[in-house]
Structure 1
Amino acid sequence: MQSEITPDSYYQVLRQYQSAQLLFEAIKSDVFSYLDGPASAKEIAEKTGYCEKNIELLLLALFSCGYIEKQDNYYYNTKEGTAYLSKSSPYYLGKTILFREEMTTLYNLADKVKCDLNNTYTSGSCYDFSSLAEVTVPEMYATGRVKSFIDEVKNVFTNSSAQLKMLDLGGGSGVFAMEFAKHYPNSKAYVFEHPSVANTTSRIISNHKMENRVSVLTGDFNTDDIGESYNLIVASGILDFTTENLNNFMKKIAVALLDDSYFLLVGRYSDTESYPKENILSWLSGYMNGIKPPPTKKQVDFALNNSNLKAVHAIQSGQFLGCLYKKVV
């Protein structure tokens, strides 16, 4: 029996873990920003003050893992590295990757398993959503979420001169609202955010010089009024954080929409009333801190149908799945 099995898979995980650690540390040292063109370890050491010997070893390790390219004694970024890991790129994701690693770390998991801390999730208590809003700005463009969103709304609202009103519920960065306002210049867009995040949202909007076109509404979307007479409401990744009855929550959204207007829902659902296998690893630390499992697709569909929000079609929003609904009376 022993000859039929090996521990190779565990050692493979160890190497993958080391490869991930290498990437994170290389991002922290900002080495990719010096590799948009071929550069030697000596040249990088002269520009940064780093130890030449150790930067050479770091570069060799990055090359061995496929993170960078090498020719003779010169190193340079892969196409992906130039696009996403060099600070010269508008789609730089280094800060985003490091934040998400810290946000979802499983480092102290054993302590949580051993001890029931009686954690109960409350909005803002588990993750730093304010920082998350900031670091996701380039991510939303780099992963195609913005393009998917704009393509979808252009199919629905074909007249770019129309006077529309749009709400991004729990919109964090405000990117969807800003992009909507750019493509429909006669329209007004709103972002509804928790007070712990709203200041960051306002700052991002101001940095993009969109404060005259996009407004931030502050409150708890579970309990507070979200406004009215919207042509489009977007809700991306918020169903995990609804504390109200799901039926009542969807009715609130429906009431806030004009007749024959649209609701764009992006999120993840479970097939059973449990934690979804596909997402449990990346959300494990949050679940152990008290975040409830997402609602089932059956529960979501029932609540939507009960609120006269009828499915139009499914969509792909970057790496995420969603669906467009229409309010019918």
Structure 2
Amino acid sequence: MKQLPESKGSYGRFWRMLMGAMPARILMSALDLGVFDLLDDFRSPAEVAQRLDTHPANTRLFLDSLVTADLLEKRHGLYRNLPDTTHFLKRGTPLYLGDLLRFSWGLCVDPLKDLPKLLREGPAPGPGIEDENLWAEASRSNAAWAFGEMGRMMAGIVSELDGFPGFARMLDLGGGHGIFTLYFVQAHPSMTGVVFDRPAITRATREFIEEYGMAERVGIAQGDYLTDDLGSGYDLIWASSTLNFARQELDSLLTKIYAALKPDGYFAAFQDGLTHEHTKPDVALGFLPGALQSGADFGFDQGEIAQAMLKAGFRSVRSHSLDTPMGTMDLDIARK
């Protein structure tokens, strides 16, 4: 009689990994259909199907799956959003994430359908992670990343910097939507801010500045921070998830940043900080599609930016690893 195999572990994690794709697909389909826009109050599957013009029986099955995924609640055959679903996934709410999730899906998940081809043939031509039009389109949707929790968290950290009450002027380098600047300026009685980015990208910046009544204190400078002058006399220069574009020119950019700061000024870089030989934390997976398509590795190892700051002449650097809704990221704060 042949011995039956014995297991020394469980294959559960592999099954969970496979099934993990299902809630993501269900979520994206619900966003595209506008399901969450209808369910502030309890509704029957027949009502939802009528509003969405979808198949009644399949609509009920789909709504059940949204309950399974902890996006809806079900009582007596009726369905309603959970509170955080309305908060983040209903169109028109201040913290709506739908556009950000769609953009991230298109940038980080959808390209992996060509993964075998990219592995066999190498990088693919076409618009990549450095494409200005891509980021111009994304600037408004990506603002959701900074609104609320993240904006308040970063403003809290910046406002604790030594000398913050005396700050007069800050620069948001490659700031895109400029939302972090709005939070920082709002946390200060008089500081003004400048959001620096390429012309196509700053259209959304201007809209946010006007929407939140900050035009008297926040301005825009247009250009390429790798080649154009940054100005001078800043108490704080802030850079969030933008130094990846300068990875090959980091030393020269930090020299420019150092020169643009006042004595005792700060440069704060909020970025990925990869560990375990460039494989952790999970945020590293987000770089895979862009790296495969472009042939360039955009991720920073933890400590890489801090070391470059010291090399550029900054007298001290404080580094923090922060838990964010998108995973663990590093904040390096250098002082001139």
Find the aligned partners of 1:240 and 1:204 in 2 and give their Cα distance.
Answer: 24
Map of 1:215 onto structure 2: 219
Does residue 118 of structure 2 align to residue 112 of structure 1?
A: yes
Tell me the equivalent position of 1:310.
Answer: 316
Q: CA RMSD in A?
A: 2.9
Counterpart position of 2:201: 197
Within 5 Å, which residues of 2 pair with 1:229-248?
229-243=233-247, 245-248=249-252
Asked if 1 retains the 8 angstrom alpha-carbon contact of 2:123 and 2:295, the reply is no
Alignment partner, residue 60 of structure 1: 64
2:155 counterpart residue number: 150
In structure 2, distance between residues paired with 1:219 and 1:159: 27
Structure 1 unaligned spans of 5+: none
Judge which range, 230-239 or 177-186, deviates more: 177-186
Classify the secondary structure of the residue corresponding to 2:147: helix
Aligned partner (choices 81, 87, 93) of residue 83 of structure 1: 87
Number of residue pairs matched by the alignment: 324
* Local SS of the residue matching 1:228: coil
Question: Aligned in 2, Cα 1:195/1:110: closer, same or farther, shift over 3 Å?
Answer: farther
Output the CA distance in 1 between the equivalents of 2:216 and 2:164. Answer: 21
Which digits, 9 at most, give the CA deviation of each residue in 1:5-52, with x for residues without a partner?
776654433322122211110111111122222221123234444333
1:315–1:7 CA distance, 2 compared to 1 (3 A): closer
AA aligned opposite 1:134: R
Unaligned runs of 5+ in 2: none
Which residue of 2 is the match for residue 324 of structure 1?
A: 333
Q: Hey, what's the Cα distance between the residues in 1 that align with 2:78 and 2:299?
A: 49
- TM-score of the two chains, using structure 2 as the length reference: 0.85
CA distance in 1 between counterparts of 2:125 and 2:163 reads 47
Instruction: Report the AA paired with residue 321 of structure 1.
Output: D
Opposite residue 136 of structure 2, the aligned amino acid is: S
Separation (CA, whole Å) in 1 of partners of 2:78 and 2:16: 29
The 1-side partners of 2:318 and 2:269 are apart by 11
**TM-score, with structure 1 as normaliser:** 0.86
Amino acid at match of 1:68: L
Q: Aligned in 2, Cα 1:317/1:224: closer, same or farther, shift over 3 Å?
A: farther
* Aligned-partner Cα distance in 2 for 1:271–1:57: 42
Residue of structure 1 aligned with 2:305, choices 300, 323, 326: 300
Q: SS where residue 316 of structure 2 aligns?
A: strand
Give secondary structure in 2 for the equivalent of 1:258. strand
AA aligned to 2:119 is: V
Question: What SS class does the counterpart of residue 36 from structure 1 fall into?
Answer: coil
